[in-house]
Amino acid sequence: MTSLSGRHVIVTGAAQGIGAAIATALAGQGASLTLVGRRVALLEDLAARLPTGAKHAVVAMDVSSEEAVAQGFERARAALGPVSILVNNAGQAESAPFGKTSMALWQRMLDVNLTGTFLCSQAALPDMLAGGWGRIVNVASTAGQRGYPYVAAYVAAKHGVIGLTRALALEVAKKGVTVNAVCPGYTETEILQASIANVVAKTGRSIEEARAEFAKSNPQGRIVQPLEVADAVSWLCGTGAGAVTGQSISVSGGEVM
């Protein structure tokens, strides 16, 4: 028996990067996994790479749509039963100077990063309360713990995720459910690669120079790896972290203390 054997875990934004690392780590602990995202082909490719024998389902879902979330969670339950653990990893980051941040950009950042976390948590929580046990882990960002220039909408959304984490943790503290956030610094993901490409296009710097600029915010002088974030999430999902709730754990090499 492994630590998460028999637990149904939903991971949003599971197709690549941090989400894929989290899904793989939790499958290795015996969890049954619903992999959620918009790109089914990538989700199915990940499913094929999970540990042999891992129970899984693939659900295409827009986490910012109330109707889509309700339908997606019903499909997940039909496939693998009540939800025990939810990892809200789906996210999106776009940059713009504050004065040029459009309403459309602002709303996109809130919809995916904050509203998606809210909707999925609402959909998963009844199963956890009924079972008297549950884990919600929100993948936020150091952007939810401090400020960064040119990403005001993203920073605001991630600060909102941390506020939501704290409020919900207190509501369910006596009901066997913990709610925490993991806050990665700059991590080796597709989002970071896009950010590096954006810097290169706008400044003429080389890829190496742009990477170094992102890495220097980390006191360790490096980019965080997805597996390092997945390890923190895995611990929070386990029974040994039962006394940890309402926390925002920075995985950033000491950038946030």
Region label for 254, one of left (φ > 0), alpha (ψ between -120 and 50) or beta (otherwise): left
Vertex 68 angle, CA 80 and 154, to 5°: 105
Of 96, 212, 219, the C-alpha closest to 156 is 96
Of 15, 4, 121, the C-alpha closest to 69 is 121
Mean pLDDT over 41-61 rounds to 94
Predicted pLDDT at 191: 82
pLDDT > 70: percent of the chain? 99
Identity of residue 189: T
Mean pLDDT over 15-29 rounds to 96
Mean pLDDT over 186-195 rounds to 88
Task: Report residue 95 as tokens.
Answer: 């940059």
Predicted pLDDT at 194: 85
Q: Which of 148, 150, 154, 186 is catalytic?
A: 154
* Domains in the chain: ranges and CATH: 8-251 (3.40.50.720)
Q: Which helix (H) or strand (E) holds 137?
A: strand 134-139
Q: What is the mean pLDDT of the chain?
A: 95
**148 annotated active-site:** no
Judge contact between 57 and 34, C-beta under 8 A: yes
Mean pLDDT over 16-37 rounds to 96
DSSP-assigned beta bridge partners for residue 86: 10, 136
Mean pLDDT over 229-248 rounds to 97
Q: At residue 2, does pLDDT exceed 80? A: no
Residue range 209-228, pLDDT digits in tens: 999 989 999 999 999 999 99
Give the Cα separation of 30 and 172 in Å (integer). Answer: 26
Residue range 106-155, pLDDT digits in tens: 999 999 999 999 999 999 999 999 999 999 999 999 999 999 999 999 99
Residues in the chain: 257
Identity of residue 41: A
Assign 42 to helix, strand or coil. helix
Range in 32-36, 48-52, 79-83, 161-165 with the lowest mean pLDDT? 48-52
Mean pLDDT over 19-46 rounds to 96
Give the Cα separation of 113 and 158 in Å (integer). Answer: 7
Predicted pLDDT at 1: 42
Judge contact between 11 and 33, C-beta under 8 A: yes
Mean pLDDT over 90-106 rounds to 96
